[in-house]
Chain A
Amino acid sequence: MPDSIKKFKRSIGELKNIFEFIDRFANKYALQAKLVHDVTLAVEEIFTNMVKYNPTGPNEIELHLLFAHNVLKIKLIDRESEPFDITKAQVYDLNQRVEQRPVGKLGIHFVKKIMDHLEYQHKNKRTVITMIKNLGETNV
């Protein structure tokens, strides 16, 4: 069972509450500031994607956090959503000149960069994004 589960309204304004939830979890395990920063960034990017691409979804978005055996597992669940496999999203071209760089689309690139594992599932209109970070001794 996850250590911490909370549902958040489908609104960008919920980010403040999400950050507080992550901070409380991080304090419980005395996680290092760098790790907390990266988890916060990854969760913001996935949550805002879910809000942006499914703005009329009828349900709240669930955030699960689990820390065990030096592994941090983060899960975001959006029920009643259309399929969009973020693991297969177009790769952000970091070599483009500034004029060609899109203003958006960086979020998924960040998540892939930060996390050790990113998994997408969609079944019965339910999207589940799972992110895993393997922690060395230095992270706790």
Chain B
Amino acid sequence: MFNVTLNSENRIHLTGRFDASQTDKAKKVFDKIEQSAVVDFSDLDYISSAGLGMLLMTQKRLMEKGHKLKLINMNNHVREVFKYARFDFIFEIE
């Protein structure tokens, strides 16, 4: 079960498995972000290239306006996927 929420402090919380079947659901939330935001991965178990694509698309859009995403609390499996893609050079990961 995947879930994505955006709170009033511009913080996105991801839960469950972010696979290719969840991109429409995620896009509805990520498209609402207009300035720098924090994405909390603490309850995310899994991410595939589809999820990374959504994050990259959002990062590109924000960077055009001088903003960016900060990614926090990744588990080791998810962090490794970011390393496979060398996305750890594209995003600030804490």
Instruction: State the A residues within 8 Å of B (CB).
Output: 12-13, 15-16, 19, 33-34, 37, 40-41, 44-45, 48, 94-95, 98-99, 101, 103-104, 106-107, 109-110, 113-114
Contacts and interface: CB of A to CB of B under 8 A. Distances in A.
Nearest to A94: B86
A98 B77 contact: no
Q: Which of B20, B52, B81, B86 has the most CB of A within 10 A?
A: B20
A37 B48 CA distance: 10
A107 B17 contact: no
A20 B84 CA distance: 25
Q: For the side of the interface on B, what is the size category?
A: 20 to 34
Contact of A40 (B46, B49, B60, B90): B46
Contacts of B21: 12-13, 15-16
Q: Chain B contact residues: over half helix, strand or loop, or mixed?
A: helix
A113 B82 CA distance: 12
A73 B46 CA distance: 22
Nearest to B85: A106
Q: Chain A contact residues: over half helix, strand or loop, or mixed?
A: helix
Interface in B49-68: 49-50, 52-53, 56-57, 59-60, 63
A107 B49 contact: yes
Given A15-B20, A16-B21, A101-B56, A45 B84 contact: no
